[in-house]
Amino acid sequence: MSTLKLNILKLHQSIGTIYVSKIKPSDLLAMSIVDRRRIEEDEEVLGIQRELKKDKVIQIQNYLTSIDATFPNSIIVNTTQNFVVNENETELELTIDDNTFTIIDGQHRVEGFRESNLDNFELLIAIFKDLKNDQQANIFSTINSEQTKVDPSLNLNLELNSKAYTPKKMMIEIAQSLNYDKESPWYKSIKMLGANTNGIISLSAFVKPLLEITYPEKDYYLIRNELMQNEKEFPTFSD
């Protein structure tokens, strides 16, 4: 019987004990299942997870090609006592089985590693033990309903902090120029964060179509990696 030993930190909360550790994506993929809503024998079976979104998995796979990719938040899973070989205050030893873990939250992140060759990437994992289905469902529901979605325009605006002069950064600066130029047809018409909020179009809505005709979205991290590794300044032109 093959086992996996995890160094753990135990947290005690109202729901019970949580085991926090790190794990290789390949080990997590080999030891986990996802309880999704599904149809069996013409009847709907209630599962915890929504259907896997392939476009979201592809987005994560593309992100993982970035030279500074990171997932600092934890994958949340449940296991049962049946898979526990040994446990003490600092270590949890588990049987390696494709049913050892049930993923409560993070299925898309985990799936994004399925075709990845990253050897130096570890995931933070929060392990519950012997949770009932309704408890797992409640955790998933709470996590995904209480999160505040980040404004797409704010996400774009953060690109201005990038060291690399990415196409996104260029388009944001173009939008800024058009918004603040008194002779521009877009003068004060773009909703810039922290400045003009009374425009007729958001920064995201203005920039997105420009990006779509500039480069394929799937190539963003490829382009960014090249720019990050090339420290030459973006050329400027004088009159």
Is the confidence at residue 117, as pLDDT, over 70?
A: yes
Please report, for the chain, the start and end positions of each structural domain, with discontinuous segments joined by +. 3-146, 152-229
> pLDDT digit string (tens) for 146-162?
565 667 777 777 788 87
> pLDDT digit string (tens) for 160-186?
887 788 888 889 999 989 988 999 999
How far, in Å, CA of 164 to CA of 229, rounded? 9
Q: What is the pLDDT of residue 45?
A: 39
CB-CB contact of 135 with 18 (8 Å): no
> Phi and psi at residue 35, in whole multiples of 5°?
-90, 95
Q: What is the pLDDT of residue 154?
A: 76
Share of the chain above pLDDT 70, in %: 85
Q: What is the pLDDT of residue 147?
A: 60
Three-class SS of residue 9? strand
Q: What is the pLDDT of residue 121?
A: 94
Is the confidence at residue 116, as pLDDT, over 50?
A: yes
CA 187 to chain centre: 36
CB-CB contact of 204 with 153 (8 Å): yes
How far, in Å, CA of 215 to CA of 220, rounded? 8
Q: Tell how strand 123-129 and strand 75-79 pair up.
A: parallel
pTM: 0.74
The alpha carbon dihedral of 146, 151, 157, 162 has a sign of positive
Which amino acid belongs to residue 56? K
